Chains A and B, each alone.
Chain A
Amino acid sequence: MTPTEIKETLDREFPGSVIDNEELAESQIELKPDQWLEIATYLKNDPGLNFDQLECVTGIDTGEDGPLQSRYNFHSMEHRHKIEVVISLDRNNPKVASIEQVWRVGDWFERETYDMFGIIYEGHRDLRRILCPEDWEGWPLRKDYEAQETYHGIVVPKIKEEEWE
């Protein structure tokens, strides 16, 4: 199925959850975070879609005052079609349902996005930092991240920004 057909199927099954966003490419669908868990289960179990591979979960910070996004890449081994789901979340309270029970690979992917961006995946059984130490402060990959000064007495070096023409 082409991405447009998938978009229409989702719009039919879950009316009101597909958001039209001109900036996205054809294979990307933006969804509202409300019914995400049901939609995810549908994407996996429906025989016509059968997205059994969750390839990647990426977190995006769209800039100052913009929303945080959680993007999911799906692929179906049987039908060989792909789709990308974009979910925009409010910067100050980024919460979305966790899909780690549907695709077990989501467990570590969501932990990483939580660690780097601070997006809270509700329903995740063990949401804690994965790459940074457990007591690290701040969300490193956000654009407005300022590293803490010291960590247990060790000075944290700063990344210098340089001008490139």
Chain B
Amino acid sequence: MTVDNLMNWFAELGDFPELAFILAVLICAVPVFLFIAIYALVAIYGELKISSFMQDKVGPMGQGVGLHAGKWGLLQPVADALKLILKEDIIPASADKKLFILAPFIVFIGAFIAFAALPFNQNLIIADMNIGIFYILAVSSLGVIGLIMAGWSSNNKWSLYGAMRSAAQIVSYEIPAALSIIAVIMLTGTLSMQGIIQHQSGFVWGILPNWIIFQNPFTFAAFFIFFVSGVAECNRTPFDIPEAESELVAGAFTEYSGMRYAFFFLSEYANMFIVSGIAVTAFLGGWQSPIPGILNSPGWGLWWFMSKAMFLIFVMIWFRWTFPRLRVDQLMNVCWKGFTPIAMVNIFGVGIWHLMLG
């Protein structure tokens, strides 16, 4: 409700509704953008270090906080960001210029506006719409258009391959994801994000949190379906055939360099966060504390939300370095012949379970 709260606060100061609206939106949007940027840096660093631990190598070293040689390499993501900003901006001569320039923005916008409905906290949610989760699922599909534009305008057969595969994959995996969310909505009766979280308050038998994942064996399955579909939507391994390095160099983004590439990169990590955020909200209780009674003030609420989301992101990173990648037709098989039927069965199961056992 943050934009609304800010609007009310401005209304007390004076009567300038349009300016108040713009100011309120800016005050909410700029921190989100900063959050995405900082979170992306942290996630990149985490990915490098976690992958090095898993792969028996050392990863970024040196650049300790005091700029001397150390074990942590904390300035590595800063160096990465600086490098991307300072790189030369190359547009291929035969590329379709307008689409080429527009594509990263559309992909990023698709990821960015979904943040408007993520509930970080009891109070920190930019727009607590009563169709919150429906809104997020809808706008996160915008990124596909940007991807296709990127692949087509690069005038490169490999980019086109990557963009086509990516578009097919994202559009297909939206369906099991949405069907799993329907299973959740059947239980909560509301589409609003805060409402879903409120539904999961309380504890069963005194110690088990009343999260949706524990309420019903079918929602337990729905969580895994949703999470794996989310990994597929982010184009992460094992579903990273659109950016398969050994075949397509960088897929749809081959021709992009510098800041434009940074935008694609940022939006991939932002998408990961959104998928984790929805999974945490819908299945894992959102900002609620898992321990009965304590640590449930608003400050702690933010901490719980972030730590649960970070844990899911860690699992995504773990997947990437463990599994080989699926071929395109196998990917589609898994989606249409595997996940979608299971998600539909889940919906029936949730309804029947709820009906019979209250």
In the complex they form, do A and B come into direct contact, defined as C-beta atoms under 8 angstroms apart? Answer: no
Q: Point out residues on B near A: beta carbons under 8 Å.
A: none
Q: Point out residues on A near B: beta carbons under 8 Å.
A: none
